[in-house]
C-alpha cells in the first residue's frame, strides 16, 4: 500500500513527471507517444500502467498515459483527442476488441503510426496498425485446456467426465477468445471430457464463488476439472469447492494469469496450474515496440508475450511477483 | 398516509392489509419456492448449497438493511454502497493481521465515517440525496484507488471463522451476523423512538419537521447505518475470499435496492420493515441459486430477476388495490 | 448579481464550465483545438441524449432507470437488424425503444407505483435481453461507408451525432415552452392532482416522457453502434449515473416540474468537459474519480443549505 504520495501534483500528472529527463540512447528519445490504456481499478492494468511509465522513462520516451473506465465510447473520443495532439505515435489498449476500427481508420488517415497492446482485434484488419504486442487470448484458453488434461494425467485419472468453466464478463472480446480457445482444444484433445456448464465470474472472486457453488451443487461428483479464466476467479472456485465438501486436489483446477493469489494457491497444492500472462512482460514488449518503431527496425504484425503453462514445479521460475510502487 | 402505515399491524388480517400485502406475499413465496426447490431439485437442500445461498444473502442483505433506513426515512436510495464495500474489503484484509474482530471494527469505522459525512451533507446541508451519494461514491472509489494503488490485497494465513466458519453445517457465521443485524434493525425501527421518528420523516417530511422531530439527526443516522451496512458487507466478502480489491461490491448498489424493493419497502419512504428487507433478500438469493443450480444461462438469470422485481411490485400494487 | 441571488446553481454551472475551460486550456494547449472540440461533441451526444430523456421523466415527476441498459440493447438491435439495411436497423431500434418506454409509462401509471421500481425491473430485464441478443458473439458492423459518414466532421468541430443531439435539445426545449404537451408535462411534475383536475392530460404527458426517454436512449445506442462499428451488452454501463448527475447538475429537481433542456445541456457539458480535460492532461485513475466526485459535490452543495444562506446574504 502506498498511502503517502509526495504531492497531489504527482497524483494528477504522474505520467508527465515520470518521463522527466533521463538521458537515453536511440531515436525514440524525446518522441511523444500517447498511451490509451485501462483504468487502475483492475489490478493487472494498474501494474501495467506503472511498468510502462517506468520503462518509457528509462528509454527517454515522452509517454502520456490516458486511462479509461472500460468504456469503448469514451475510448473512441480519447482517440479523437489523441489525434488532435499530433503525437509521434499512439499506443492503444483497445478496451473492447473491435469497437475501435473506425477510430483506428481515423488514426491511419491522420498518418500517425498506431501500435496495439494487450487486446488483439480481428487480424483481418491488421492493415490498420503497425504492430500488436501482448497476450494471445485464444492461445491462453487453448493452453488452459492442455493444462487441464495434463492435470488429470498427473493425478492418474482418465480423460473423461465433466468440466465446468468460469468465464470473464460476457461480451468482452477477451472472454470470447479465451472461451473459444479452451472449448476447441478440449474437444480436440480429449473428446470424452464434456463441458457441463459455464457461468460468468466477471473477473471477480465473489461472483465466481456463487457461480461455481451453483454448478458444484448441480453436478457435484461428475466434475473432474474446473477452468477459471483468471486466478482471482479460481480463488472463488476453490472457496466454493471447500464449502461443497469437494477436494480440490482431486480435481484438475486450472486458472490463468499467474496472479499473486494463483501463485499462493498453486504452492498450497489447491490449484494445479495457471497460464502466464504478465503485465510486466506486456509493458516491456509495448515499450520495445515503440523503440523499434522509431529506430526503423523490422516489425512483424503480431508479437506475443510468452504464455508458458505453470505448475507447482516451475511456478517460482516463471511467475515473478508483481512489482509494487 | 394511512393509519395502517404507522401503527404496528397485528393478527392475520394485518398481514394482508394494503400496506403489508406485498411483504406478506413475498414471505410466503420465498417459503413456497424454497420448499418446492428442496423437493424437486437434487442436492438443493444439501448443507453446502444452503450455506451458499446464505453467504450470498448475508452480504447483500446487510447492505440492504442499512440502505433501507435511508429509504424508509424518505431519501430514496444511496449509490455509494459499492465503493464503500470495496474500500472496506481492502481495509479488512489490510487489518486482518490484528484478528477478525479488530479488522471488522476497522472496516465498520470506515463505513461509519463515510456514512456520517454523507448524512451531514444530505441532512444538515440539505443537499440532493441522489447526487450527494453519487459524488460520495466517486470520491470513495478515488480514495480507495489511491490508497490501494489498484492492487489486490491478500490475507496472510488461512481462512478465518468469519470467512468460512459455520454455527452448524449449512449455517455460516455470516448468516448468524445477518440475522442479528436484522433483529436489531427491526427492533430499532419498530420499537424505539428513533425508529418511529425515522419512519415518520419518510411518510411526511414537512409534518415531521413541524411536529418538532429530530429530523436532521434522523437523516444523519440513516446514512451512518447505510455506510456501516455497506462496510460490513465489504468486510464479509473480503473474509470469504481472503482478498480485498476495488472490484468488490460492483453490483452491490442495485442488488441491495432490488432486494429491498422486492421485499415490500416503498421507495418513497415511510412504508416497509427491516424484516421485509430480509425476506426480499432471501427471495432473490433463493431464486438466483435455483437458476444457477440448474445452470441457466446468464441472460436468463438476469431476465428472470428483472421479471421477479416487476412481478413482485405488480402483485403488491394490485393486491393492495383490491383490499382498499 | 441578480442571477446568482436567484439561482446559485445556474450561475455555478457557468462558473464551473468557464473555470474548467480556462484551467484545461492553460494546462494543455490542445484543449481548444478543433479535434478536441469534435471529441467533446461526441461525448456530449451520447450522454446528452440519455440525460435529456431521463430529465424529461424527472420533469414529469417520474424517473427512468432503464436508459443506460437501453443503449446496449438498441445498439445490438441496430446492428443485428441493420446489417444489410441500416435504415431498417435504426427503425427497429427506435421502435423497440419507444415500445419499452410505452410499457414503462403504462405500467407505472396503471399500478400507481413509483417508476423507480418499474424501471429498475425493466433495467435488469433489458441487460439480460442484451446478453441474449449478443449470444456470446462479437457483433460488428461491416458497413464502413456509413460508419465513416457518421465519423466525419463539419467545420472541424461538429459531428452528425452532435448535431442531431443539439437539434433534439432545441426541439425538446421548444416543445416544453410552447406546446400544450409541454405545459402538461411540467404540470404533471409540479402539481399532478391539481393539473389533472384542471383538465391537463397528465397521464398522456407522463407516458409521452417515458416514450421519449426510450426513443432518445435507443437513438443514442443506435448512433453509438454505427459510430463504433460494434455493439455489445457491456455498452452504456456508466450512462445511468452520469445521466442522472448531468440532469440534476443541470437544474432538474427530483421533486418534478423544475428544470429545462438548456440547463440539462449545460449539466452534460460540465461532465463532458471535465472528463475530456482530465483525459487530455493524462490524469491518473484516482484523480479522475476524486475530481468527478468533487465537482458533483460542489454542484450539490450549491443546491442545498449553503446556497440558501448565500441567497439570503445577497438578496
ipTM value for the complex: 0.91
Residue B94 reports pLDDT greater than 90: yes
Q: Can you say whether the dihedral through the CA atoms of A44, A256, C130, B291 is positive or negative?
A: negative
In angstroms, what separates the C-alpha of C159 from chain A's closest C-alpha? 12
Which of C176, C298, C161 has the alpha carbon at shortest distance from C228?
A: C161
Mean pLDDT of B36-48: 93
* Stretch among A9-13, A257-261, B156-160 having the lowest mean pLDDT: A9-13
pTM over cut 0.95: no
pLDDT band at B156 (very low <50, low <70, confident <90, very high): confident
Residue A6 reports pLDDT greater than 50: no
Cross-chain CB nearest to A232 (options B152, B250, B251): B152
pLDDT at res. C8? 61
pLDDT at res. B287? 96
Strand partners, B153: B244
Residue B40 reports pLDDT greater than 80: yes
Residue A181 reports pLDDT greater than 80: yes
pLDDT at res. B133? 96
Q: Can you say whether the dihedral through the CA atoms of B172, B178, B181, B187 is positive or negative?
A: negative
Spatial distance between the Cα atoms of B28 and B279, rounded to a whole number of angstroms:
9
Spatial distance between the Cα atoms of B92 and B112, rounded to a whole number of angstroms:
14
* Interface probe, candidates C76, C232, C237, C289, chain A, greatest A C-beta count within 10 A: C232
Asked if B295 and A217 come within 8 Å (Cβ–Cβ), the reply is no
Phi-psi region of B157 (alpha: psi -120 to 50; beta: other; left: phi over 0): left
Which residues does chain C have with pLDDT short of 50? 1-5
Asked if A99 and C230 come within 8 Å (Cβ–Cβ), the reply is yes
Mean pLDDT of A10-35: 63
pLDDT at res. C268? 96
pLDDT at res. A216? 95
Residues of A in contact with B159 (CB under 8 A): 239
Residue B317 reports pLDDT greater than 90: no
Residues of A in contact with C149 (CB under 8 A): none
* Stretch among A136-140, B281-285, C151-155 having the lowest mean pLDDT: C151-155
3-state secondary structure of C255: coil
pLDDT at res. A18? 42
Spatial distance between the Cα atoms of A258 and C108, rounded to a whole number of angstroms:
50
Mean pLDDT of B211-219: 88
Cross-chain CB nearest to C234 (options A66, A85, A171): A171
- Which of 57-86 (A) contact C at CB < 8 A? 64-67, 69-74, 76-78, 80-81, 83-85
**pLDDT, mean over chain B:** 91
Contact B91, B155 (CB under 8 A): no
Domain extent listing, chain B: 53-317
Domain at B53-317: CATH code? 1.10.3470
C255 interfacial to chain B (CB closer than 8 Å): no
- Which of 122-181 (C) contact B at CB < 8 A? 122-132
B40 interfacial to chain A (CB closer than 8 Å): no
C-alpha grid cell, residue B224: 451512518
More confident residue, A208 or C136: A208
Contact C143, A186 (CB under 8 A): no
A42 interfacial to chain B (CB closer than 8 Å): yes
Which of A215, A23, C255, C222 has the alpha carbon at shortest distance from B129?
A: C255
pLDDT at res. A174? 87
What confidence tens digit (pLDDT) does each residue in A92-115 have? 999 876 678 889 999 999 999 999
pLDDT at res. B13? 65
Cross-chain CB nearest to B56 (options A197, A204, A210): A210
- Which of 253-282 (B) contact C at CB < 8 A? 254, 257-258, 261, 266-268
pLDDT at res. A325? 65
Asked if B241 and A206 come within 8 Å (Cβ–Cβ), the reply is yes
Contact C90, C222 (CB under 8 A): yes
3-state secondary structure of B159: coil
CB atoms under 10 Å from CB of B186, counted, come to 18
pLDDT at res. B71? 96
More confident residue, B316 or B290: B290
pLDDT at res. A22? 45
B322 interfacial to chain C (CB closer than 8 Å): no
Domain extent listing, chain C: 2-314
* Interface probe, candidates C42, C68, C230, C290, chain A, greatest A C-beta count within 10 A: C230
Pick the CATH number of C2-314 from 2.40.160, 3.30.1540, 1.10.3470, 1.10.10: 1.10.3470
Asked if B48 and A47 come within 8 Å (Cβ–Cβ), the reply is no
Contact B249, B114 (CB under 8 A): no
Asked if B127 and C129 come within 8 Å (Cβ–Cβ), the reply is no
What percent of chain B is modeled with pLDDT above 70?
95
DSSP conformational letter for B120: I
Amino acid at each position: 500500500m502506498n498511502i503517502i504520495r509526495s504531492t497531489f501534483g504527482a497524483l494528477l500528472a504522474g505520467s508527465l513527471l515520470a518521463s522527466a529527463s533521463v538521458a537515453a540512447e536511440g531515436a525514440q528519445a524525446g518522441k511523444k507517444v500517447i498511451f490509451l490504456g485501462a483504468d487502475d481499478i483492475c489490478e493487472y492494468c494498474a501494474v501495467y500502467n506503472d511498468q510502462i511509465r517506468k520503462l518509457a522513462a528509462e528509454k527517454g520516451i515522452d509517454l502520456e498515459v490516458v486511462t479509461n473506465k472500460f468504456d469503448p465510447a469514451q475510448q473512441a473520443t480519447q482517440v479523437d483527442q489523441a489525434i488532435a495532439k499530433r503525437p509521434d505515435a499512439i499506443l492503444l489498449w483497445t478496451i473492447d476488441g473491435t469497437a475501435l476500427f473506425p477510430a483506428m481508420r481515423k488514426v491511419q488517415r491522420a498518418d500517425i503510426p498506431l501500435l496495439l497492446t494487450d487486446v488483439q482485434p480481428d487480424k483481418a484488419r491488421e492493415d490498420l496498425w503497425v504492430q500488436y504486442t501482448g497476450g494471445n487470448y485464444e492461445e491462453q484458453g487453448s493452453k488452459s485446456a492442455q493444462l487441464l488434461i495434463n492435470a488429470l494425467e498427473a493425478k492418474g485419472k482418465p480423460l473423461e467426465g465433466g468440466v465446468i468453466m468460469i468465464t470473464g464478463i460476457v461480451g468482452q472480446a477477451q472472454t470470447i477468445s479465451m472461451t473459444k480457445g479452451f472449448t476447441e482444444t478440449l474437444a480436440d484433445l480429449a473428446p470424452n471430457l464434456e463441458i457441463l456448464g459455464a457461468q460468468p465470474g466477471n473477473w471477480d472472486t465473489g461472483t465466481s464463488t456463487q457461480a461455481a457453488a451453483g454448478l458444484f451443487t448441480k453436478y457435484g461428483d461428475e466434475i473432474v476439472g474446473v477452468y477459471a479464466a483468471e486466478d482471482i476467479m479460481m480463488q472463488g472456485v476453490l472457496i466454493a469447492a471447500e464449502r461443497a465438501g469437494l477436494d480440490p486436489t482431486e480435481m484438475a483446477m486450472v486458472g490463468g494469469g499467474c496472479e499473486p493469489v494463483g501463485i499462493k494457491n498453486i504452492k498450497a497444492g489447491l490449484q494445479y496450474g495457471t497460464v502466464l500472462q504478465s503485465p510486466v512482460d506486456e509493458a516491456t514488449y509495448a515499450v520495445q515496440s515503440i523503440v523499434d518503431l522509431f529506430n526503423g527496425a523490422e516489425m512483424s504484425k503480431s508479437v506475443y508475450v510468452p504464455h508458458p503453462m505453470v505448475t507447482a514445479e516451475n511456478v517460482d521460475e516463471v511467475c515473478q511477483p508483481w512489482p509494487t510502487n | 398516509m394511512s393509519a395502517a402505515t404507522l401503527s404496528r399491524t397485528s393478527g392475520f388480517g394485518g398481514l394482508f392489509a394494503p400496506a403489508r400485502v406485498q411483504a406478506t406475499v413475498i414471505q410466503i413465496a420465498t417459503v413456497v419456492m424454497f420448499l418446492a426447490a428442496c423437493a424437486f431439485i437434487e442436492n438443493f437442500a444439501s448443507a453446502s448449497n444452503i450455506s451458499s445461498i446464505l453467504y450470498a444473502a448475508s452480504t447483500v442483505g446487510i447492505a440492504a438493511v442499512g440502505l433501507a433506513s435511508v429509504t424508509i426515512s424518505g431519501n430514496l436510495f444511496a449509490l455509494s454502497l459499492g465503493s464503500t464495500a470495496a474500500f472496506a474489503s481492502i481495509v479488512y484484509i489490510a487489518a486482518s493481521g490484528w484478528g477478525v474482530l479488530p479488522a471488522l471494527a476497522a472496516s465498520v469505522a470506515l463505513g461509519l465515517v463515510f456514512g456520517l459525512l454523507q448524512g451531514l451533507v444530505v441532512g444538515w446541508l440539505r443537499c440532493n440525496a441522489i447526487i450527494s451519494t453519487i459524488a460520495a461514491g466517486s470520491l470513495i472509489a478515488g480514495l480507495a484507488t489511491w490508497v490501494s494503488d489498484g492492487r489486490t490485497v491478500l490475507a496472510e494465513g488461512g481462512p478465518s471463522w468469519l470467512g468460512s466458519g459455520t454455527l452448524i453445517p449449512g449455517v455460516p457465521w455470516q448468516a448468524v451476523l445477518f440475522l442479528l443485524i436484522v433483529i436489531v434493525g427491526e427492533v430499532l425501527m419498530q420499537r424505539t423512538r428513533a425508529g418511529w421518528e425515522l419512519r415518520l420523516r419518510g411518510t411526511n417530511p414537512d409534518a415531521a419537521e413541524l411536529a418538532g422531530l429530530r429530523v436532521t439527526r434522523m437523516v444523519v443516522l440513516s446514512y451512518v447505518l447505510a455506510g456501516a451496512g455497506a462496510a460490513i458487507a465489504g468486510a464479509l466478502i473480503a473474509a470469504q475470499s481472503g482478498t480485498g480489491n476495488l472490484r468488490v461490491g460492483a453490483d452491490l448498489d442495485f442488488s441491495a435496492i432490488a432486494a429491498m424493493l422486492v421485499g415490500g419497502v416503498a421507495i418513497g419512504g415511510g412504508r416497509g420493515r427491516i424484516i421485509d428487507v430480509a425476506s426480499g433478500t432471501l427471495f432473490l438469493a433463493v431464486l438466483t441459486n435455483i437458476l444457477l443450480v440448474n445452470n441457466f444461462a446468464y441472460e436468463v438469470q438476469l431476465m428472470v430477476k428483472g421479471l421477479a422485481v416487476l412481478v413482485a411490485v405488480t402483485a403488491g400494487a394490485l393486491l393492495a388495490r383490491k383490499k382498499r | 448579481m441578480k442571477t446568482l441571488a436567484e439561482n446559485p446553481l445556474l450561475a455555478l454551472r457557468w462558473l464551473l464550465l468557464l473555470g474548467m475551460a480556462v484551467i484545461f486550456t492553460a494546462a494543455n494547449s490542445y484543449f481548444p483545438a478543433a479535434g478536441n472540440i469534435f471529441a467533446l461533441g461526441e461525448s456530449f451526444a451520447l450522454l446528452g441524449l440519455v440525460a435529456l430523456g431521463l430529465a424529461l421523466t424527472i420533469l414529469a415527476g417520474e424517473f427512468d432507470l432503464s436508459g443506460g441498459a437501453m443503449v446496449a440493447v438498441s445498439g445490438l438491435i441496430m446492428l443485428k437488424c441493420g446489417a444489410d439495411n441500416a435504415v431498417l436497423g435504426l427503425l427497429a431500434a427506435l421502435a423497440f425503444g419507444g415500445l419499452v418506454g410505452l410499457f414503462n409509462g403504462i405500467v407505472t401509471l396503471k399500478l400507481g407505483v413509483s417508476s423507480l421500481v418499474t424501471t429498475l425491473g425493466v433495467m435488469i430485464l433489458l441487460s439480460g435481453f442484451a446478453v441474449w441478443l449478443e449470444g456470446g458473439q462479437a457483433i460488428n458492423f461491416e458497413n464502413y461507408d456509413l460508419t465513416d459518414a457518421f465519423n466525419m466532421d463539419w467545420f472541424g468541430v461538429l459531428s452528425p451525432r452532435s448535431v442531431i443531439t443539439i437539434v433534439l435539445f432545441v426541439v425538446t426545449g421548444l416543445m416544453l415552452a410552447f406546446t400544450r404537451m409541454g405545459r402538461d408535462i411540467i404540470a404533471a411534475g409540479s402539481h399532478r392532482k391539481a393539473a389533472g383536475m384542471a383538465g391537463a392530460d397528465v397521464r398522456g404527458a407522463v407516458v409521452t416522457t417515458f416514450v421519449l426517454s426510450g426513443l432518445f436512449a435507443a437513438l443514442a445506442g443506435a448512433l453509438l453502434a454505427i459510430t463504433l462499428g460494434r455493439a455489445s451488452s457491456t455498452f452504456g454501463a456508466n450512462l445511468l449515473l452520469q445521466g442522472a448527475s448531468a440532469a440534476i447538475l443541470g437544474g432538474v429537481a427530483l421533486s418534478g416540474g423544475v428544470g429545462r433542456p438548456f440547463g440539462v445541456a449545460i449539466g452534460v457539458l460540465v461532465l463532458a468537459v471535465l472528463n475530456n480535460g482530465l483525459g487530455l492532461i493524462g490524469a491518473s485513475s484516482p484523480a479522475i474519480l476524486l475530481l468527478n466526485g468533487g465537482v458533483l459535490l460542489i454542484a450539490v452543495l450549491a443546491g442545498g443549505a449553503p446556497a440558501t444562506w448565500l441567497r439570503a446574504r445577497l438578496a
